[in-house]
């Protein structure tokens, strides 16, 4: 289809869908209103299980199976990217220096920021049930710490601190741990992912039953996933193309 | 209702971006833009004027506390949605990398392998 | 073990088990040799299928309900996620499990260079398919929908060295994701309207609310994502691209169950959540119009292909069109017919794809004209292929024929008198196209490509899937082939299969029963009217008629250029239209996105027009 034809098709679609959406939005409850039946039930349920962070209660307790599914999606994408970006016959890893110049202050900043970021990540995971944050957020922050080393132009150090096999196993272990808590719920509580541990006191570090455990499992899986995922993309930069292709080495996306 | 309209508009902008795109990386990012429309919609649906974050510092003393919090459920859904977005984007970018290698182009206009 | 305990344990287990095994394979993969990985993956998939079978037999007596996390409803409401198993949902999961087992067995020596990752992705894909079939929560369905999607995009592009594979996978990923996001917009709108995500709670809230514009637009938006998966025209473009390029065992799952699950999602959504609210006439019109367009486009495009896998992909689109009409007629017998049809279609279409894989690995091509006569010595593959082609056209005793007859009876009862004619034409076109290819490849008859075929996408680009070439049919490929073909015929002959399907479809469409089972715990089905559906003389005649028509279509395809000149001149007048239809399938992601939005607009208009 020509560009013009495509824009006409799109314009008709947008006109129809946009009109219908606008009309439908008119009958939605007004913005900022107080009609939230699920919220009322979810907040009460969170308090029953002594979970201070209601979002975590929804994610890890009330709708914990969504989170298992989501972990699995993350795992599938990591495996998928590993398959898609595998070195093909003829492509070899080049172990060269990174190009470009990095300021001394940047390196300095990285040295300071790496341990802080790592601790922050672990803290966010640990307090998932009581303060904003949780396994996802903390896991991503922890993985970021490792990649700060890369920013600081320490690819060799970075590569040594990043044994991919270990991170792959951490990721798989995180998902298995999540499922194991689910099975324990079935064995001792009669249904999958039942919150079987004592709930403790609201807003204490150890409270909310299985929520902190599930947070830790997710934190492990997410940190592992992000590191492995990014490693595949970073490695693309260090792949030499098989002889005979036209594009410049290291130019993953530009023709 | 204008926040809802903003959500719809973001979705449309993403789709328009994909339709106009001359670079697959751009198209994949436009897809992520389209998805952010869904975050905005979910969060605006859960918002309540004057309400606070759905996190307790201590056990509430009187009943009716739930009505003073914004909806935590849509926030949880948004979190899931964000993870989905990140995974789909990474997967599609990996495909874009491979398309660049196999076809020597990332312009959808020049990809002619799947016609008819 | 009581009924309740079994449901609680087993319904989630069939989803979690493949996930855990996939993780273990990934963690230990480097230490395992390839046969071990193959055996573990096949055994897991077979165990899941067996568990699905146990669940299916239990679901014949009661609805199975499992509240995850133990959040059983109190005062008729719950904050948790529920899994519900009735015969249709568990049956879909069972089909997925069986097809996965066959596909994994078939891929015994496949993709040796990516070792464990292929199996892990397949198992995660199975978890997505199963979870989507069983979930009773709208957002949880979205999660498993995405899991299916992410695994499927990667599986489509497993052959990354193939330029078409990466292109097809990207188109697939972008269009499916876009559809999913429109679904999520719809979920957000319905949540705003009702404050619920659970299908049963949503059903109660919507029935109390009544059909306003928000509900209609919300339904259409959520259904869009599922219809993209179901490849309804104009959301179908990803399907022919992805099927043409995906590895053969993966195509089996795509065509056999993933596409059909999209349709299942729409039907589940309508019957449970919306059937008490939306006007039945409007919904019927919407799906019938969509179905007719889909069936016609799929059939015509199917006839125009020379790339065998792409031809089979368009045949799946044509069949989806028929399923849409039958399910959209809202008649229980037609729904039952669709269920039987889907099972039969899964069997024969899988066989056809696997045969295409055998040809590809042997001759390095899936092009009808390149392969002409090459398959003369491949006796078994040839016989299996032709039988499956006849089955696809509706030959008794294949389940396809039984399902088609039941669906035809149902749509006529729903007032669509022209239904059987259209079904006959679609079966003739898709079956005929397959028989034409079979005759050309395995018998070597027929003329060379005409002007129209010469311009079509060739099947020579397709890359082999086995590292080493093969000369004869290995046992690991032969067993799934013959087993699936036999299954397609045996299911059609099972006494009482049609009756059971009719009963199951009635229960599937029972909104009140589903809601009561989920929220009040009354899981018994209650009295249902005795249903009888099965082979009849009339049905067999209809089936034989469509097989005859298919043979005619095949002959025309083989020797059409020998027709008298006057007739050819008349036929030639259709060429511009055909050319246009072909050029719409451009492989361009921008076009597909525009068509997607155009389609949503069209459905909304259909849903809003006065009845």
pLDDT (tens digit, 9 = 90+) per residue, C173-222? 999 999 999 999 999 999 999 989 999 999 999 998 888 899 999 999 99
Q: Which of C193, C68, B65 is nearest to A43 (CA)?
A: B65
- The rounded mean pLDDT for chain B is 89
Extract the tokens encoding C488: 């397609």
Q: What percent of chain C has pLDDT over 70?
A: 98
pTM listed for this prediction? 0.94
Closest partner residue to C154 (CB to CB) among A58, A79, A172 is A79
HEC per residue, C320-384:
HHHHHHHHHCCCHHHHHHHHHHHHHHHHHHHHHHHHHHHHHHHHCCCECCCCCCHHHHCHHHHHH
> Which tens digit of pLDDT belongs to each residue from C424-444?
999 999 999 999 999 999 998
Whether the pLDDT of residue A252 is over 60: the answer is no
How many separate domains does chain C show? 1
**Which pLDDT value is given to residue A240?**
64
DSSP states along C423-463? HHHHHHHHHHHHHHHHIIIII--S----HHHHTSPPSSSPP
Helix (H, G, I), strand (E, B) or coil at C523: coil
CA A55, CA A50: separation in Å to the nearest integer?
13
Whether the pLDDT of residue B59 is over 90: the answer is no
Q: Is B92 on the interface with C (CB under 8 A)?
A: yes
Q: Residue C83 forms beta bridges with which residues?
A: C66, C135
Phi (first) and psi of residue C307, to 5 degrees:
-80, 115
CA C374, CA C369: separation in Å to the nearest integer?
10
Judge whether C99 and A57 are in contact, CB under 8 Å.
no
List per-block mean pLDDT (blocks of 10 residues) for chain C, which spans 611 residues: 78 93 88 87 95 91 88 86 93 95 87 81 95 94 95 92 90 94 95 92 90 92 95 91 90 93 95 90 92 95 91 95 94 92 94 92 88 86 93 90 92 91 94 94 84 72 72 82 91 86 89 89 76 81 91 88 83 85 88 94 90 72
Which residues, 6+ apart, have CB-to-CB distance to C418 below 8 Å? Answer: none
CA A84, CA A232: separation in Å to the nearest integer?
9
Instruction: Tell me how crowded residue C421 is: count the other CB atoms within 10 A of its CB.
Output: 10
> Which tens digit of pLDDT belongs to each residue from A224-242?
899 888 888 888 877 766 5
> Which tens digit of pLDDT belongs to each residue from A141-182?
998 888 887 777 666 666 766 778 888 888 888 999 999 988
Closest partner residue to A66 (CB to CB) among C139, C155, C597 is C139
Which residues, 6+ apart, have CB-to-CB distance to C139 below 8 Å? Answer: A63, A66, B77, B80, C187, C197
Question: Is the previous residue joined to C595 through a cis bond, with omega within 30 degrees of 0?
Answer: no
- Nearest-CA distance from C83 to chain A in Å? 10
CA C165, CA C326: separation in Å to the nearest integer?
33
| Buried residues in C601-611 as b, exposed as e (16+ CB within 10 A) | bbbbebbbeee
Which residues of chain C lie closer than 8 angstroms to A192, CB-CB? 8-9, 12-13, 16, 66, 68-69
Helix (H, G, I), strand (E, B) or coil at B39: helix
> Which tens digit of pLDDT belongs to each residue from A86-119?
887 777 666 555 556 777 888 888 888 888 999 9
Nearest chain A Cα to C224, which residue?
A: A17
Extract the tokens encoding C63: 């609805």
> Which tens digit of pLDDT belongs to each residue from A30-75?
888 888 888 888 888 888 888 888 898 899 989 989 999 999 999 9
Closest partner residue to C173 (CB to CB) among B81, B91, B103 is B91
CA C186, CA A145: separation in Å to the nearest integer?
38
Judge whether A171 and A114 are in contact, CB under 8 Å.
no
**Which pLDDT value is given to residue B45?**
92
Interface test with B, best of A27, A84, A129, A224 (most B CBs within 10 A): A84
Which residues, 6+ apart, have CB-to-CB distance to A3 below 8 Å? Answer: none
Instruction: Tell me how crowded residue A94 is: count the other CB atoms within 10 A of its CB.
Output: 11
Which residues, 6+ apart, have CB-to-CB distance to C264 below 8 Å? Answer: C88, C89, C92, C133
H/E stretch holding C84 reads: strand C81-85
Question: Is the previous residue joined to C97 through a cis bond, with omega within 30 degrees of 0?
Answer: no
**Which pLDDT value is given to residue C76?**
79
CA C203, CA C274: separation in Å to the nearest integer?
6
> Hey, what domains does chain B have and what are their CATH numbers?
2-50+70-107 (1.10.287.3510)
Q: Which of C271, C253, C35, C91 is nearest to C158 (CA)?
A: C253
Residues 49-88 of B with CB under 8 A from C: 73-74, 77, 80-81, 84, 87-88
Per-residue pLDDT, averaged over A108-133, amounts to 87
Helix (H, G, I), strand (E, B) or coil at C567: helix
Can you give the residue range of the structural domain that contains C193?
A: 3-523+530-608
Judge whether C358 and C381 are in contact, CB under 8 Å.
yes
Closest partner residue to A28 (CB to CB) among C166, C214, C216 is C214
Helix (H, G, I), strand (E, B) or coil at C550: helix
Query: Which spans in C269-307 are helix H?
Result: 280-304
Judge whether C64 and C58 are in contact, CB under 8 Å.
yes
Instruction: Tell me how crowded residue C227 is: count the other CB atoms within 10 A of its CB.
Output: 30
Helix (H, G, I), strand (E, B) or coil at A141: helix
**Which pLDDT value is given to residue C452?**
66
Higher pLDDT, A120 or A134: A120
CA A29, CA A35: separation in Å to the nearest integer?
7
Q: Which residue has the tokens 């609210």?
A: C277
Which residues, 6+ apart, have CB-to-CB distance to C486 below 8 Å? Answer: none
Residue C282 burial by Cβ neighbours in a 10 Å radius (0-12, 13-18, 19+): middle
Distances (CA, A) of B12 to B38, B84, C221, C246, C387: 11, 19, 14, 30, 48
Going by pLDDT thresholds of 50, 70 and 90, the confidence category of residue A246 is very low
**Which pLDDT value is given to residue C268?**
94
Which residues, 6+ apart, have CB-to-CB distance to A119 below 8 Å? Answer: none
**Which pLDDT value is given to residue B116?**
64
Residue C210 burial by Cβ neighbours in a 10 Å radius (0-12, 13-18, 19+): exposed
- Nearest-CA distance from B32 to chain A in Å? 16
CA–chain centroid gap for A141, Å, is 10
Record: contact B88-C150, CB cut-off 8 A: yes
**Which pLDDT value is given to residue C390?**
93
CA C5, CA C255: separation in Å to the nearest integer?
34
**Which pLDDT value is given to residue C467?**
66
Query: Which spans in C494-588 are helix H?
Result: 497-508, 511-519, 537-559, 565-572, 575-584
Interface test with A, best of B76, B78, B93 (most A CBs within 10 A): B76
**Which pLDDT value is given to residue C451?**
66
> Which tens digit of pLDDT belongs to each residue from C551-583?
999 988 888 878 888 888 888 888 888 888 888
CA C359, CA C382: separation in Å to the nearest integer?
10
Q: Is B22 on the interface with A (CB under 8 A)?
A: no
CA C523, CA C506: separation in Å to the nearest integer?
15
Extract the tokens encoding C516: 């009561």
Task: Spell out the domain ranges in chain A.
Answer: 50-83+103-237
CA C546, CA C66: separation in Å to the nearest integer?
44
Which residues of chain B lie closer than 8 angstroms to A246, CB-CB? 104
DSSP states along C249-279? HHHHHIIIIIHHHHHHHHHHIIIIIITTTS-
Closest partner residue to C213 (CB to CB) among A27, A82, A88 is A27
Which residues of chain C lie closer than 8 angstroms to B111, CB-CB? 167, 587-588
Judge whether C294 and C233 are in contact, CB under 8 Å.
yes
**Which pLDDT value is given to residue C41?**
93
> Which tens digit of pLDDT belongs to each residue from A182-231?
888 888 888 888 888 877 777 677 777 888 889 989 999 999 899 888 88
Chains that touch C (3 or more CB pairs under 8 A): A, B
């Amino acid at each position: 289809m020509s560009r013009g034809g495509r824009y006409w098709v799109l314009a008709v679609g947008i006109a129809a869908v946009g009109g219908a959406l606008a009309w439908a939005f008119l009958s939605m409850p007004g913005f900022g209103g107080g009609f939230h039946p699920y919220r009322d039930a979810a907040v009460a349920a969170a308090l029953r299980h002594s979970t201070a962070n209601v979002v975590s209660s929804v994610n890890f307790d009330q709708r914990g199976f969504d989170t298992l599914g989501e972990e699995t999606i993350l795992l599938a994408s990591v495996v998928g990217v590993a398959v898609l970006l595998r070195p093909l016959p003829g492509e070899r890893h080049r172990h060269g220096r990174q190009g470009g110049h990095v300021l001394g202050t940047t390196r300095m900043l990285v040295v300071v920021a790496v341990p802080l970021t790592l601790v922050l990540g672990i803290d966010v995971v640990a307090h998932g049930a009581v303060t904003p944050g949780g396994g996802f957020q903390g896991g991503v922050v922890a993985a970021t710490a490792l990649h700060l080393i890369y920013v600081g132009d320490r690819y060799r150090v970075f590569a040594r601190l990043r044994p991919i096999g270990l991170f792959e196993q951490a990721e798989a272990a995180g998902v298995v741990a999540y499922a194991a808590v689910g099975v324990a719920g079935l064995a001792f509580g009669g249904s999958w992912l039942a919150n079987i541990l004592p709930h403790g006191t609201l807003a204490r570090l150890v409270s909310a039953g299985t929520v902190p455990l599930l947070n830790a499992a997710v934190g492990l899986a997410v940190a592992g996933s992000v590191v492995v995922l990014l490693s595949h993309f970073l490695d693309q930069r260090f792949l030499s193309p098989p002889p005979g292709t036209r594009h410049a080495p290291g130019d993953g996306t530009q023709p | 209702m204008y926040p809802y309209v903003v959500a719809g508009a973001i979705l449309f902008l993403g789709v328009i971006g994909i339709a106009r795109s001359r670079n697959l990386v751009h198209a994949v990012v436009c897809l992520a833009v389209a998805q952010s429309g869904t975050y905005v919609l979910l969060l605006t649906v859960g918002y309540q004027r004057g309400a606070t974050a759905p996190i307790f510092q201590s056990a509430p003393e009187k009943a009716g506390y739930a009505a003073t919090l914004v909806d935590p459920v849509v926030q949880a859904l948004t979190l899931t949605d964000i993870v989905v977005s990140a995974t789909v984007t990474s997967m599609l970018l990996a495909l874009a990398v491979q398309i660049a290698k196999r076809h020597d182009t990332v312009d959808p206009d020049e990809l002619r392998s799947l016609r008819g | 073990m009581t009924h309740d305990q079994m449901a609680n344990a087993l319904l989630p287990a069939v989803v979690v088990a493949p996930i855990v095994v996939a993780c273990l394979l990934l963690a230990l993969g480097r230490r395992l040799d390839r046969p071990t990985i193959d055996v573990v993956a096949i055994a897991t998939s077979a165990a899941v299928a067996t568990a699905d079978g146990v669940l299916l037999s239990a679901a014949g007596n009661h609805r199975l309900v499992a509240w995850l996390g133990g959040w059983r409803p109190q005062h008729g409401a719950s904050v948790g996620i529920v899994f519900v198993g009735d015969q249709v949902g568990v049956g879909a999961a069972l089909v997925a499990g069986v097809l996965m087992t066959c596909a994994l067995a078939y891929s015994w020596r496949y993709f040796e260079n990516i070792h464990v990752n292929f199996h892990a992705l397949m198992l995660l894909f199975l978890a997505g398919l199963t979870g989507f079939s069983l979930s009773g929560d709208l957002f949880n369905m979205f999660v498993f929908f995405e899991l299916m999607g992410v695994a499927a995009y990667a599986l489509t592009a497993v052959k990354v060295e193939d330029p078409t594979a990466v292109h097809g996978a990207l188109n697939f990923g972008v269009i499916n994701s876009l559809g999913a996001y429109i679904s999520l917009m719809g979920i957000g709108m319905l949540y705003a309207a009702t404050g619920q995500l659970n299908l049963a709670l949503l059903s109660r809230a919507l029935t109390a609310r009544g059909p306003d514009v928000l509900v209609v637009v919300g339904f259409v938006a959520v259904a869009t994502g599922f219809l993209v998966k179901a490849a309804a025209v104009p959301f179908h473009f990803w399907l022919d691209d992805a099927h043409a390029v995906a590895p053969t065992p993966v195509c089996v799952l795509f065509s056999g169950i993933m596409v059909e699950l999209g349709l299942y999602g729409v039907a589940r959504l309508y019957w449970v959540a919306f059937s008490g609210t939306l006007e039945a006439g409007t919904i019927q019109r919407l799906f019938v119009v969509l179905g007719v367009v889909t069936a016609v486009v799929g059939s015509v495009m199917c006839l125009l292909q020379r790339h065998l896998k792409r031809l089979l992909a368009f045949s799946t689109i044509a069949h989806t069109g028929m399923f849409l009409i039958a399910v959209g007629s809202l008649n229980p017998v037609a729904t039952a017919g669709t269920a039987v049809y889907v099972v039969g279609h899964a069997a024969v279409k899988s066989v056809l794809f696997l045969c295409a894989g055998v040809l590809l690995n042997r001759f390095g091509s899936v092009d009808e004209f390149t392969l002409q006569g090459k398959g003369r010595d491949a006796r078994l593959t040839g016989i299996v292929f032709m039988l499956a082609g006849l089955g696809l056209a509706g030959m008794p005793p294949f389940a396809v024929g039984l399902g088609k007859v039941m669906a035809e009876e149902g749509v006529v009862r729903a007032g669509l008198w022209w239904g059987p004619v259209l079904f006959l034409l679609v079966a003739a076109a898709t079956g005929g196209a397959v028989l034409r290819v079979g005759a050309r490849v395995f018998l070597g008859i027929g003329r060379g490509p005409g002007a129209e075929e010469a311009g079509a996408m060739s099947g020579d680009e397709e890359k082999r899937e086995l590292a080493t070439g093969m000369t004869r049919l290995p046992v690991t490929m032969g067993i799934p082939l013959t087993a699936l073909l036999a299954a397609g015929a045996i299911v059609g002959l099972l006494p009482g299969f049609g009756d059971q399907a009719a009963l199951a479809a009635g229960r599937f469409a029972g909104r009140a029963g589903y809601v009561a089972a989920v929220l009040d715990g009354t899981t018994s089905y209650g009295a249902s009217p005795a249903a009888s559906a099965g082979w009849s003389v009339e049905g067999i005649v209809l089936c034989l008629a469509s097989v005859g028509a298919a043979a005619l279509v095949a002959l025309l395809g083989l020797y059409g250029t020998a027709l008298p000149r006057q007739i050819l001149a008349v036929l030639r007048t259709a060429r511009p239209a055909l050319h246009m239809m072909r050029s719409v399938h451009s492989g361009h992601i921008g076009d597909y996105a525009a068509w997607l939005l155009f389609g949503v607009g069209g459905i909304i208009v259909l849903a809003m027009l006065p009845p």
